[in-house]
Amino acid sequence: MSTFWLRRTHHCRELTEADVGASVVLAGWTHRRRDHGGLIFVDLRDREGITQVVFDPQVDAATHQQAKDIRSEFVLAVEGEVVARPADMVNPKLVTGTVEVNVKRLAILNPSKPPPIPIDEETEIGEASRLKYRYLDLRRPDQQRIMKLRHRATKAVRDFFDDQGFLEIETPFLTRSTPEGARDYIVPSRVNPGKFYALPQSPQIFKQILMVAGYEKYFQIARCFRDEDLRADRQPEFSQIDVECSFIDEEGIFALIEAMMAHMFREATGRNLATHFPRLTYAEAMGRYGTDKPDLRFGMPIVDVSDLLREGTFEVFNEVLAAGGRVKGIAVPGQAAISRKELDDLVGEVQGYGARGLAWMKVTAEGVKSPLEKFFHEGSLKDLAAAVEAGPDDLVLMVADEANVASRALGALRLALGHRLGLIPPDDYQACWIVEFPLLEYHEEDGRYYAVHHPFTAPREEDLALLETDPASVRARAYDLVLNGEEIGGGSIRIHTREVQQRMFAALGISPAEAEEKFGFLLEALEYGTPPHGGIALGLDRIIMLLAGLSSIRDVIAFPKTQRAVDLMVDAPSTIDTAQLDELHLRQTKRS
């Protein structure tokens, strides 16, 4: 076989009218083939794009005859002359649409069976088929654009931190199991019978140890593993931008990460992302948006209107308020003409979020209209409309319930209506920081406290004295980064003294013996001059998903798993034979 293709001169997106008359060598896959009798046209596709190549018997009869064998996804190399297309045959959809290549030499490098899924952008393909034939799905131009976007974003992250004096340091995949929230993936040790490694849920302890070791500025594009139930934005293995710094506080972390995000956006997409992200406390976010990951691309904040409704005679509201609950509302712009059936459907939606019901009021040019009119003075309802900033033609929706239930139900309804009514600008990006999270949360089922972030998060200094007496009121020096309603990162200022870390373990119900057995190395390290430090982990897959305008991180990972954590392409997980089990000192008690 001729090896002229080793002299490839261009990618298939590069040829322009400036190349007319040049002799070129291209290589790629057959995207489309059209036989027009005398001429055979092939759209030749490689990683960068498509060029039309033409097989003309007047140019080379033998090559034209050879081209009759070409079919979809054959791997080809061609050599020929670049010519301008006739004016009526220019293809404006292609970057190379003004030129084509008259082929003088052809090499069919590898034929292909008819692909089981189409390699184009127009055809919808079921996810099961896409993942089973992932090596074909990844050939599709839209998938290749996503992988290029991921590369550019990752490179931008590395360049940014290098410029800031950070060191990229790898941490182990084989470590010990520690209680960090999700289940660990466990790896048996052949040379240490009866003992097991765990794959890291995050490099948390190791990056803190690097601060103890004096490295001051660390980052890593870290692989993490969590054995948890999956959904669109979760995978059993994922990548995070892991960052840790010494001698830093929250303000330093915020400034650093805002600059990094702006650099990533600019380098990966050409977009400008405004820095100085707004900050909301956890309590503010829950109160105004019903979630700790609010989408700030549109309005409709939740407003507590309880005090405006205390003088009415509506029994449902009065019962809720008497029991310590709240009445909260949102204004839905331009929806005063909504039908009664649509309102009934909205009632069903909030009930699905845990609320008992939904009250409504329409604001019109003539005044307010609502079933509540007979229970309240007109002035109260007008004050209510003003409080939620409802103008003419707007709809006011209210939930009366426990404060958290009302907020969460209206927050979910706000987001659903924002999408449904087209209130969310599709090309807008709005980030914010959520701060002052609770340090601990109490679980009734087992009567103990758990860390909201992780066990190494520092309490706010002014709350430290409450750690033993009122743990639920202690606020954490933790922060989340939210982008367009998605949590894309979380971090904290860490505990850097043994004394405070032991108090934290005690608050979590971890005995001194258990703390020593699981974290003794960390407790000891904290006694050897550990500097104040903090950091953050950002979900790289989730960021790329948002940059690409997608709704699932599976689309931005080269080889993802299904929602049942299965790799359909290689059929993993799979069974292993008895000899391997024996070597690992394992016994299988249940077969699938």
Model pLDDT for residues 86-116, shown as the tens digit of each residue? 999 999 999 999 999 999 999 999 999 999 9
Number of domains forming the structure of the chain: 3
Helix (H), strand (E) at residue 515:
helix 512-525
> Alpha carbon of 529 to those of 171, 328, 455, 498: distances in Å?
22, 50, 20, 11
> Alpha carbon of 525 to those of 210, 517, 521, 589: distances in Å?
10, 14, 6, 40
- Using DSSP, state whether 10 is helix, strand or coil: coil
The answer to whether position 311 is within a domain reads yes
With bands split at pLDDT 50, 70 and 90, how would you rate the model's confidence at 123? confident
Interval 443-462 mean pLDDT: 93
The answer to whether position 199 is within a domain reads yes
Q: What confidence tens digit (pLDDT) does each residue in 236-264 have?
A: 999 999 999 999 999 999 999 999 999 99
Q: What confidence tens digit (pLDDT) does each residue in 539-585 have?
A: 999 999 999 999 899 999 999 999 889 999 999 999 888 899 988 98
Q: What confidence tens digit (pLDDT) does each residue in 11-39 have?
A: 999 999 999 999 999 999 999 999 988 89
Angle CA(563)–CA(565)–CA(571) in degrees, nearest 5? 120
- Indicate if 256 and 308 belong to the same structural domain: no
What is the radius of gyration, based on Cα positions, of the chain? Answer: 30
Q: What is the CATH number of the domain that holds 353?
A: 3.30.1360.30
- Indicate if 141 and 256 belong to the same structural domain: yes
CA trace torsion 411, 417, 422, 425 (10° rounding):
0
- Indicate if 186 and 314 belong to the same structural domain: no
Range of the domain at 212: 132-277+538-592
The answer to whether position 549 is within a domain reads yes
The answer on pLDDT for 179 being more than 70 is no
The answer on pLDDT for 439 being more than 90 is yes
The answer on pLDDT for 233 being more than 80 is no
Residue 221 neighbours by CB distance under 10 Å: 15
Q: Which of 389, 404, 420 is the last residue of a domain?
A: 420
- Indicate if 252 and 309 belong to the same structural domain: no
The answer to whether position 48 is within a domain reads yes
- Using DSSP, state whether 356 is helix, strand or coil: coil
Q: Which residue from 566, 535, 488, 545 is spatially nearest to 166, judged by alpha carbons?
A: 535
Q: Which of 110, 140, 163 is the last residue of a domain?
A: 110
Residue 510 neighbours by CB distance under 10 Å: 19
As a whole number of angstroms, the distance between CA 323 and CA 303 comes to 19
Helix (H), strand (E) at residue 411:
helix 403-420
Percent of the chain with pLDDT over 70: 99
The answer to whether position 207 is within a domain reads yes
- Indicate if 142 and 88 belong to the same structural domain: no
Residue 403 neighbours by CB distance under 10 Å: 16
As a whole number of angstroms, the distance between CA 46 and CA 12 comes to 6
- Indicate if 159 and 261 belong to the same structural domain: yes
- Indicate if 193 and 319 belong to the same structural domain: no
- Indicate if 309 and 262 belong to the same structural domain: no
The answer to whether position 291 is within a domain reads no
Interval 466-475 mean pLDDT: 95
- In this structure, the strands spanning 486-493 and 478-483 are antiparallel
As a whole number of angstroms, the distance between CA 476 and CA 457 comes to 7
Q: What is the CATH number of the domain that holds 58?
A: 2.40.50.140
- Indicate if 92 and 138 belong to the same structural domain: no
Q: Which of 402, 420, 438 is the last residue of a domain?
A: 420
Burial (CB < 10 A; 0-12, 13-18, 19+), residue 425, is: exposed
- Using DSSP, state whether 564 is helix, strand or coil: coil
Q: Please tell me the pTM assigned to this model.
A: 0.92
As a whole number of angstroms, the distance between CA 585 and CA 592 comes to 20
- Indicate if 302 and 388 belong to the same structural domain: yes
- Indicate if 150 and 263 belong to the same structural domain: yes
With bands split at pLDDT 50, 70 and 90, how would you rate the model's confidence at 379? confident
Residue 207 neighbours by CB distance under 10 Å: 24
Q: What confidence tens digit (pLDDT) does each residue in 386-406 have?
A: 999 999 999 999 999 999 999
Question: What is residue 29's DSSP assignment?
Answer: E
Q: What is the CATH number of the domain that holds 217?
A: 3.30.930.10
- Tokens standing for 192? 């240490």
What are the φ and ψ backbone dihedral angles of 540, each rounded to 5 degrees? -60, -45
The answer to whether position 175 is within a domain reads yes
- Indicate if 81 and 27 belong to the same structural domain: yes
Percent of the chain with pLDDT over 90: 84
Which position has the token pair 């004394």?
499
The answer to whether position 54 is within a domain reads yes
